[in-house]
Amino acid sequence: MPSPIPVERFLPRDLSPSIDLRPCSSPLELSRRKPGSIFPTACSKHLAVPRLPPRLAWCSIDWEQVRVLEPLGSGGFGSVYRATYRGETVALKKVKRCSKNRLASRQSFWAELNAASLRHPHVVRVLAASACCPGEPGSPGTIIMEYTGNSTLHQRIYGRGPPLERDCCLRYARHVADGLCFLHRGGVVHLDLKPANVLLAPGDLCKIGDFGCSQRLREGGEDPCCSQLRHLGGTYTHRAPELLRGEPVTVKADIYSYGVTLWQMVTRELPYTGDRQCVLYAVVAYDLRPEIGQTFRCTEAGRALGDIVQSCWVPRPEDRPDTDQILQRLDVADCLTSSVLLTSPPDSPQGPGSGGGSCQPDSWSYT
């Protein structure tokens, strides 16, 4: 039976959008270890190295071409380093050996390789991989990816810089939706989409990364070998309610996470505070969602984005839009923004150069 305790008891409203508050599944955190003290630069030619399956043989690592430069960060299942590979600056991820849950760490490594053959401007590219980790016996493996810098959408949203302006928010939202569209067409579900897993690359491009929770869907549904793991991993604040109930994985789980991510971009708040189990229960039993506030109501473009967010996190997966529909709705929101900028007179509360009103044409209202 549903709990008689009111939902308000679960979630205090004193949201604190601090860059250090991350109710996540261990996003990358900066490492304090010294460069060169952790990871060997080469693998012995005489060492027995586990091999990748034939379908992935093309991306096997040439260890003589690897040079590790410095640590970038570490998370729940791995540590990331800036390195060079065949003369190119790359990001090298060493998947950790997890003594408490070895199956989960192995699953994380193989899940990362779901993106190995994918090439898209808004998806982090896997360059090479190995089922070994020199100097780390028992580690599931190593992955070499394109280097995008060490900035994430999470840091951009909650950092000390100014809030995302409307044009920037719409552009980032389109980048992420475009990357998701590509993944879903290829049968890959990310299952841990959140601002901390969206990297900001040179050129102000968003790239979806960290595929450690991803699954590749077979024709007609999820891979049966992954069904027993569908409850594991991910970030509880962004995880779709059907997954929390143990239901099968579909691409619509990513759409739910996209809605929460877009809400964060606009509001600059964190989805929930309070006890994890209470949040999970309230999301499933009460259809609890982050609050749609005044920020989404002050302009036509804001209302259009609010409609997108709310449609993405409806309880029934089949009622959520797909990525093509989201991209179409983002185009509408973009047109509404352009219309305000082009048609509003200079002295209008909605027009360029206005000092009045709570909503500015190039930014959201944070009141």
**Can you say how many angstroms the Cα of residue 143 is from the centroid of all Cα atoms in its chain?**
18
DSSP 247: P
SS3 of 143, please? Answer: strand
**Can you say how many angstroms the Cα of residue 308 is from the centroid of all Cα atoms in its chain?**
18
Nearest to 183 by CA among 121, 233, 123, 234: 123
Compute the C-alpha angle 70/74/79, nearest 5°. Answer: 65
Nearest to 68 by CA among 80, 78, 82: 82
Distance from C-alpha of 144 to C-alpha of 206, rounded to nearest angstrom: 19
Distance from C-alpha of 327 to C-alpha of 177, rounded to nearest angstrom: 7
Active site (annotated) includes residue 192? yes
Distance from C-alpha of 363 to C-alpha of 229, rounded to nearest angstrom: 41
> Could you say which of 167, 178, 192, 362 is catalytic?
192
DSSP 363: B
**Terminal Cα-to-Cα distance of the chain (whole angstroms):** 38
Distance from C-alpha of 221 to C-alpha of 319, rounded to nearest angstrom: 17
Active site residues: 192
